[in-house]
Structure 1
Amino acid sequence: MADAKLWILVGNASRARLFATDAKAEADWSLVEEFHHDESRAKSEFLRDQPDNPNAGTLHGPPGENEPQGRRELEHERFARELSGVLDRGHDRHAFDKLVIAAPPEFLGRLRKALSTRVRQRVLLDVGSDYSTVPARDLPERVPLL
């Protein structure tokens, strides 16, 4: 599998970068695509006044979509599903043989849940760290491939 195609997804709940390389650790990474989910970062929208909700702040269930925390979680899940769809399409095109994912632990958990079984079977490694702001040239030093 020395010539295996490897994809590396590096991101967090609001942005991600997808790189391709071969399975050799010394190979260069090439950027395939960048993704932005501005809705996950729109904190001012999450924190603005919400309509009165008689169940807000009670133990009647998880935060609703209209509550700041519930809206944020919903957007994080949407972005995880969006990225999962990209990986599914890449799998269907045989664009990669193995996959490495680096994301903060909470978002990594969301991604794992969103991945299809066929993509999940291609995951070589997942790293619970946020490297979304690390320059692309420095990523190979931070994200282990072997």
Structure 2
Amino acid sequence: MADGTLWILVGNASRARLFATDAKAEANWKLVEEFQHEESRARNPDLLNQPDNPNAGTLHGPPPENEPNGRKELEHDRFARQLSEFLDKGHDRHAFDKLVIAAPPEFLGRMRRLLSSRVKQRVLLDVDSDYSNVPARDLPARVPVL
């Protein structure tokens, strides 16, 4: 295991940044990866008009994307799934020991539901705040990691 490596995921439903730090040098965060999900920022009518709608034609009632905000919800789930898969791969590579997640409450809930049990065991703390627009240099003062 990466001795004392802490990953900090800071994001919301459309963008996220992943930082790493040594548990002993908690204010020295290094950017590992940035994630963007433009579909989460799009308006519902724009999402519904996409020709490559992968959720069209479900067999169990109206497609979720046809419900109010349904397609946006699907895009938020997709992004949360993308992030959780990245965390799974990081876990498999032994890239981190502990994990802190900072996200708005609704997206944090999505992340909690989609994290694998092995990654959940590494979660040290989750913070229900949206710090996605906070400059990286100011994040260590806002996100408590220890």
TM-score normalised to the size of structure 2?
Answer: 0.84
Structure 1's unaligned 5+ residue stretches are: 52-60
Aligned-pair identity (%): 77
Q: Give the 5 Å matches for 1:30-49.
A: 30-43=30-43, 46-47=44-45
Contact 2:47 2:71 in 1 (8 A): no
Spell out, residue by residue over 1:59-104, the C-alpha distance to the aligned partner (whole angstroms, 9 max, x if none): xx89721345000100000000000000000000000000000000
Contact 2:9 2:101 in 1 (8 A): yes
AA in 1 matched with 2:93: R
Residue aligned with 2:66, SS? coil
Q: CA deviation at 1:27?
A: 3.8
CA distance in 1, matches of 2:94, 2:63: 39
Contact 2:20 2:30 in 1 (8 A): yes
Question: Which residue is 1:102 aligned to?
Answer: 102
AA in 2 matched with 1:122: R
Asked which structure has the greater CA Rg, the reply is 1
Aligned CA-pair RMSD: 2.1
CA distance in 2, matches of 1:30, 1:75: 28
Indicate how the Cα distance of structure 1 residues 15 and 62 shifts in structure 2: closer, same or farther if over 3 A, else same. Answer: farther
Q: CA deviation at 1:142?
A: 0.2
Question: Which residue is 1:55 aligned to?
Answer: none
CA distance in 2, matches of 1:6, 1:38: 28
Indicate how the Cα distance of structure 1 residues 76 and 127 shifts in structure 2: closer, same or farther if over 3 A, else same. Answer: same
Spell out, residue by residue over 1:90-146, the C-alpha distance to the aligned partner (whole angstroms, 9 max, x if none): 000000000000000000000000000000000000000000000000000000011
CA distance in 2, matches of 1:72, 1:90: 27
AA in 1 matched with 2:104: P
Q: Give the 5 Å matches for 1:66-145.
A: 66-145=66-145
